[in-house]
Amino acid sequence: MENHFKIEKEKIDANKILETVKDYKNSSNKDLHIALQFIEKDFEFTKTNLIKMSEHLDKLEYTYNLLYKEYTSRNVQ
């Protein structure tokens, strides 16, 4: 569960989340709930960024292909 998701230090202790994940069988319901909330936020954050990156990649590919087509049409002999 290594990640760079920003954790509000006063509310969530990253080490506590890791401990809960490693020893979930013996963790309290409260700790499981906190870990689940953290993972849900991290999932949504990651999903949103992947979607944005995918859209950006699609735009880059479209632009590249557009420019490449023009470039090659000019250089055909």
Residue 1 has pLDDT above 50, yes or no: no
Domain assignment present for 38: yes
Domain assignment present for 1: no
Positive or negative: CA dihedral 37, 38, 40, 41: positive
Domain assignment present for 9: no
Domain assignment present for 53: yes
Domain assignment present for 25: yes
For the stretch 44-68, pLDDT in tens is 999 999 999 999 999 999 999 999 9
Angle at 50 between CA 44 and CA 17, to 5 degrees: 40
Contacts of 20 (CB under 8 A, 6+ apart): 27, 31, 32, 34, 35
**pLDDT in the model for residue 14:** 87
Full domain range(s) for residue 63 = 14-74
Please choose, from the candidates 9, 16, 7, the residue with its C-alpha nearest in 3D space to the C-alpha of residue 41: 7
pTM: 0.68
Structural domains counted in the chain: 1
